[in-house]
Each structure stands twice: as structure tokens, then as C-alpha cells.
A and B are shown apart, each in its own frame.
Chain A
Amino acid sequence: MSGIIKSSIARKVAMALSAFFLMIFLLQHFAINILSVFSPDTFNEVSHFMGTNPLVQFALQPVLVFAIVFHFVMGFILEIKNKKSRTVKYVKNNGAANSSWMSRNMIWSGATILAFFVLHFIDFFFPELNTKYILGDLSGMHNGEFKYYNELLHKFESPIRVGAYVISFVLLAMHLLHGFNSAFQSVGATVGRKEVMKKIGRAYAILIPLGFIFIALFHHFNGH
């Protein structure tokens, strides 16, 4: 098996598997966030459950962190390898004639998402880890009520932050417009159902990021 992960196809499949995991995670994250629009109480309860359930915390969360790190590290490795495969560039190259802008710029949309992740981790993930595992406060409470919804509102106050959030999700949509189908193609799952997969991919890539953007704008304009 060690020879296999070095091969180009094995790397592609590994890239696709990490992407599948990220796409499922994204769906689940969306399902929870959208609750904040309809019912702050349910949002608080589910957030608290996710934040304190040992299975989520000590099994899923480490896999998620691994998938994210693996995905972008492998993305950069492949990019470098591919650049080396053509050391003399074309004087004139018409990439738009045969491929989408999204497909040719995965590394840039990816890098933007990475920047977003850094911001997101500083905003939510690191403070959470600090409160829970360093300060040892697992209550999820602040001033006598669940803190999650209030924290969310607080983060969506600044227009600059909301702007950055929106831009990141537009780039995520672009990443997925190519990525969703690419991942299925990589595992050989598109044979005979190319057109259907394209439609599903487009729907996912546009609707999910749009949903996140909606949530951010909703709280920005409705928040206290």
C-alpha cells in the first residue's frame, strides 16, 4: 500500500476522499447554522451537544482537522508537482477555450478558503478549546444563558467581517463548482451519469454557500 499513495491516481483519490469528508461536514455545519435563523434555542442546544459530546469532540473533530490539513497540504503538493511538469511555459495559452476558470484556479479559491479557516479558527475554534479544555468550563454558559447564539450575533456585527465572510463563501462556491464533480470523477463514480452529476454538483456548490451567506446577512441586519 505504501507504493500506492505515491502514485498520481492514489493521490487523486485521497484528495477526493478528504474533499468528500469536507463536503459532508459543510452540509452538517450548514444544517446547524440555519437553526439560528429559525430558533435560537434549538441552535443553542444543538451547538452545546456538538461541543460537548465526546464522540463528536474526540472522534469526528480530530478527523475533521486531519482532513482539512491533509486537503490543503496535498493541494499545494500537487500544484508544485504540476508546475514542474511544464517548466517552459507557452508564450500564448488560451485556457478559457477548453476549461472553466474555476477548474484552473483551484489553488487560489482554496487559498482564500484557507485564509477564512484561519480567521474562523481564531474566532470560534481556539476560544472554544481554551474555555473548554484549558479553563475547564464545559457548561457552555455565559451570564446565566447559553452563549452560542449571542456569540454568533456578535461575530456578525462588523460589516468588514461580514464582507470577508461573504467573499470567502463566494470563493468556496467557485471551488465547489469545479470540486464537487471533480471528486466524483476522481473515484470513478461519473461513468454513465455525467449530466446528472453535473446538475447535483451545481446545486450543491451554489445553494450551500448561498445559505451560509444568507445566515450571515440575516443576523447582520436583524441583530441587536
Chain B
Amino acid sequence: MVYLQKALARNPRVDFLVELVQMVSGLLLVVFLWTHMLFVAAIWLGVGAFNALAHFMDQYRLLPATVVFLVLVFCAHIGAVIRRVPRQWQEQKIVWRHAKLIRHADTWSWLFQAVTGAAILALAIVHMAVVSYAGINAGLSSMRVHDGFLAFYAALLLLSEYHASVGLYRVFVKWGWVRRSSLKRVLGAISVLTVAIGAITLGIFYSLGAQA
């Protein structure tokens, strides 16, 4: 059905473009997430390696560049997905009721995407603010992790890994590039792996903090 407002505002490609933005920004965020994981895991090689990497990032102004990149991509992603989050209260109620009614796992994971997404946004803003304000070095990080921020980082790690893996699953499912069951397995394995890497990294920081 076409209504007057819709006919006037009509650009047939909007929906397609928004879809594209959502996917591309999502993929970029996943790439960033995993790169970030590997960079922080430099602590596995010792405090020296970590600080050298941090110094390198600082020297070439990579830190502010990353923050700008993230803000842009975050905004693009949020702008694109917000139309998907069932907005109005009425719709919210329908979707929750629907998920309960049909007891379908993938439908639940959709609701969780919205919830985890919002939580990640909040946590990531705090994280980015802290890091850009204080700068990066092993001493600061371990102190933070040891003195109360452990739960914060653990939550951010789990939430973002979950959100990323469900998001990737959806992209692949929607465009039909791989079989669903094998996809679930591969993504599950990757998530476990990345969460493990992150957990070990956090553990190292925590023990460093305890020593200091």
C-alpha cells in the first residue's frame, strides 16, 4: 500500500542502502573487535611488548584515529539498526509475547541483539572515554583490571562477542552463503576461542595488577 507521505518521500533504494550500511558497519566492527583482541593480547608476550605496541599506536596517532573511526562506524551501525529494534512499546510487547509463544531460539536471539547492543554501547562509551583520557600502557590497564574494573571488562568482552557472533550468523544466513548448522558450529567455535583469548588477557592483567 502506498500512502501520500510515502509516495512523496519515496526513494526506492533507501531500504536497500540502510541494509547495506548495517551490514558493512557491522562487519567493520567485528573486524575491529577481533583486531583489538589480538592487540591487547600483546600482554601475553610481556609488559614490554604491550607498551611497545601502545607506544607505536601513540606515535602514529593511531589511537585518536581509531576513536574517530569507531565513533563513525558506531553511529552508522546504530542509525541503521535502530529501525529494526521494535520501537514502540506496543511492538515491543508483541515481539516478546511472540518469542515466548512460538519458542523459537533464533527469534529470542534477535531480542537479545537489541538488549546486548544497547549495553555494549553504554560500556563501550565508558571504555573509550577512559582509554582516550588516560592513554594506554600496561601499568594503567592492570591497575584498572585489578581495582574493580574486572567485571566491567568481562561483561564487555562477553557481550560484544555474543553480539558479534549472532550478527555474523544473521548476515550469512540472510545472504545465504553457507549452511545454517555448520555456520552455527564455526561461529560458536570462534566465539569460544575469542572469549578464551580475552579471558586469558584479562587474567594476565589482573595478576599484574595484584603484583603491583
Question: Does B associate with A?
Answer: no
